[in-house]
């Protein structure tokens, strides 16, 4: 079975932990620490929102890809895997966001 591109990227990112920061952007991010990685996720999220609001589809694809890359680095830094995210998504399958919020806020 073909490996998913996100799985491949996740494996590449994990392999960069402890690599040489002078030759790897990912290793440089890990070396800068969780705060810097989280900041980059925030910046890329804002750039994604701006691209969406300017209705520039090519820019949106680029910024969303940057966002997903940096989010995967942050998840790796926090020892959260794509499988953890998949499990959470599966758990939510079939549960309407409206029903979930109503159950949370009924008191
Ligand atoms: N998918 C990506 C990817 N997407 C975005 N980026 C980098 O993320 C950075 C985001 O752009 P910015 O303008 O915010 O970067 P910057 O200004 O240099 O960053 P700061 O100075 O703010 O820290 C750019 O340097 C992009 O090249 C990525 N860098 C790496 N990958 C993947 O990770 C693999 C490993 O990369 P290295 O770790 O560099 O070997 C690559 O082969 C790719 O598959």
The tens digit of pLDDT for each residue in 62-80 reads 999 999 999 999 999 999 9
The encoded tokens of residue 38 equal: 């989280």
Number of domains in the chain: 1
* ipTM (interface pTM): 0.90
DSSP state of 2: P
Yes or no: say if 10 and 72 are a contact pair by the CB < 8 Å rule.
Answer: yes
Domain annotation covers residue 20: yes
Domain annotation covers residue 14: yes
- The whole model's pTM is what? 0.91
Q: Is 33 in the pocket of ligand 1 (CB under 6 A)?
A: no
Helix-then-strand count for the chain, H and E: 6, 0
Range of the domain at 55: 5-81
Q: Which of 7, 17, 24, 25 to mutate to test the pocket of ligand 1 (most atoms within 8 A of CB)?
A: 25
State how far Cα 42 lies from the chain centre.
11
């Amino acid at each position: 079975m073909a490996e998913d591109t996100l799985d491949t990227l996740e494996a590449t990112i994990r392999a960069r932990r402890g690599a040489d920061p002078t030759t790897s952007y990912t290793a440089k991010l890990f070396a800068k620490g969780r705060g810097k990685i989280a900041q980059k996720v925030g910046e890329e999220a804002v750039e994604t929102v701006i691209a969406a609001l300017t209705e520039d589809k090519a820019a949106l694809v680029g910024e969303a890809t940057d966002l997903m890359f940096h989010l995967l680095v942050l998840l790796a830094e926090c020892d959260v895997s794509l499988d953890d995210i998949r499990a959470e998504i599966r758990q939510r399958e079939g549960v309407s966001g409206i029903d979930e919020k109503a159950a949370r806020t009924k008191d």
